[in-house]
Amino acid sequence: MNKIFKLLPIFLVLILGSCSNEPTEFYSGKTINIYIGRTPGSGADLAVRLFARYWSDQIPGNPNIVVRNIPGGGGTRVWNFGVEGAETNGLDVMFSPTAGIEAVLQEPGLRANFSEMPFIGGLMSPNMAYVSTESIKTAEDLLTSNNLVFGGQNPIARFDLLGRLALDALGVDYEYVTGFQGASDVLAAVRRNEVDIQVASLGLYRFSVQPLVEQGLAIPLWHNPGTNAQGELYALDVASDIPSFMEFYQALHNQSPSGEFFEMYKWVLPRVNDIVYAAMVPPGTDEEAISILRDSFIRVINDPAYQEEELTMYGFNLPVINVPEGEMIMRGLYDVPPEVDTFLNNYIDQIR
């Protein structure tokens, strides 16, 4: 018994010590600021706000979470803030659309290096291509039609770049028209028969394009697939009703996709399309905070209430990007072979 009493102080120290290391302590009574590089009410803003509502419950200590907007610089300002102005105490989290293509092309204004920012978690926003039936009646007609108009927002937007690469890989004769202010404007142009093909988010497809498909006014073509750790493309479960690009290519050409444009499509895809919304913290952020945030990020993804609300909002659940995948993708942004760099710059400059 005496022995127990002698050891009691040691036990107490151990218990108290472990308590102080409990993640509950770290965020208890604190406020986490989530910064998003888009204006309030934009699609990304609503996605992040939805996530933020569930995040606090999954972080031990239930901190208060406040979402703040830092739009500007084509979405790069928030990331610059992440490396230049944000705190490293674990209370500042950037959760915003990544600027993958800007990083690859070293566009002006982006000073953050994504590969140096600890990755917390990411969400993929699946997307797909469809065509108006005003110009073609079946997907096979793509190869025989001339001068189909592919509408986009600007030459370095991911939907524009992926759409062009995919159409070129398929060998479609098309004209690229760009400069629409938003995806809804492209959709409006499709409805007015000014544009034939659009690459749209799966959300826009589910709620605004699918009714057109049901009325026979549009045909879904393909969805842009995901990329696994081995660099192989895989079809997304959430878009299983639409063929993946590989399946679509196979159906049209009776062979697997290949060629320069396809190789480039494959290279670009994970860098600009796999992580659409990335949560990252400033370099040098407290390790304990990083660990808590990463764990809680996954718990939100698995929270049935969050999943249900996400399902109502998008019609599907956004696929998640885990930390190893995310870190690999971010490193990949800065590993650009010279031939890829030359190809992409020339490809984009053709339009400019």
Partner 1 sequence: MLDAIFEGLQLAFSFPALWFLLLGIFIGIWVGVLPGLGGAVALALMLPFTFSMDTVSAFSFLLGMYAITSTADAIPAILFGIPGTVASQATILDGHPMAKAGQTSRAFGAAYSVSAIGGVLGAFLLALSLPIIQPFIMAFGVPEFFLLSVLGLTMVGMLSGRSLLKGVAMACLGLLLTTVGYSNATGIPRFYFGLDYLLDGIPIIPVMLGLFAIPELMELAASNTSISREGHKDKTDSLLNGLKDVIKEKWLVIRSSFIGTYVGMLPGLGAAIVDWVAYGHAVQSAKDKSRFGQGDVRGVIAPECANNAHKSGALIPTVAFGIPGSVGTAILLGALIMKGLRPGPDMLTIQLPTTFSMIWSIAIANLIAASALFFFSSKIQKIAYLPGHVVVPGVMVVLLMGSWIGTNSIGDLWLCLVMGVIGYFMKKGGWPRPPLILAIVLGPLMEDNFQLTNQIYGPFSWLFERPVSAGIFLLTLIIVLFSVFKKSSASEKPEAGEGNALNPPISIPFGLILLLVFIIITIQALGYEQFATKSFPLAVLLVGIPVTLLAFITETKNFIRDGDIRSSLLGSYSDRELKLSLKFLAYVFLTIISILFLGHIIGLTLFVLIYLMRWGKKSAKFAIIYGLLVSAFIYLFYDRVMNVLLITPF
Q: Is 108 in the site for partner 1 (CB under 8 A)?
A: yes
Query: What number of other Cβ atoms are within 10 A of residue 88's Cβ?
Result: 14
Q: Is 71 in the site for partner 1 (CB under 8 A)?
A: yes
Report in angstroms the alpha-carbon separations of 67 from 43, 44, 50, 81: 14, 12, 10, 15
Q: Is 255 in the site for partner 1 (CB under 8 A)?
A: no
CB 257 within 8 A of CB 250: yes
Q: Is 30 in the site for partner 1 (CB under 8 A)?
A: no
Q: Is 84 in the site for partner 1 (CB under 8 A)?
A: no
Q: Is 187 in the site for partner 1 (CB under 8 A)?
A: yes
Segment 311-330, which members bind partner 1 (CB under 8 A)? 312-313, 315
Q: Is 258 in the site for partner 1 (CB under 8 A)?
A: no
Alpha helices (H) in 242-322, listed in sequence order:
245-253, 260-269, 287-302, 304-314
Of 243, 267, 279, the closest CA to residue 347 belongs to 267
Distance CA 142, CA 136 (A): 7
Q: Is 265 in the site for partner 1 (CB under 8 A)?
A: no
Of 272, 280, 264, 335, the closest CA to residue 124 belongs to 272
Q: Is 45 in the site for partner 1 (CB under 8 A)?
A: yes
In terms of CB distance, is 134 or 247 closer to partner 1? Answer: 134
Query: 329: helix, coil or strand?
Result: helix
- Judged by CB under 8 A, the stretch of 19-27, 179-187, 239-247, 260-268 that binds partner 1 is 179-187
Q: Is 305 in the site for partner 1 (CB under 8 A)?
A: no
CA atoms within 13 A on the CB side of 92: 18
CB of 352 to partner 1, least distance (A): 4
Binding positions for partner 1, rule: CB under 8 A = 35, 39-43, 45-46, 49-50, 53, 66-74, 76-77, 80, 108-109, 149, 153-157, 175, 177-181, 184-185, 187-189, 191-192, 194-195, 207-208, 211, 215, 309, 312-313, 315, 348, 351-352
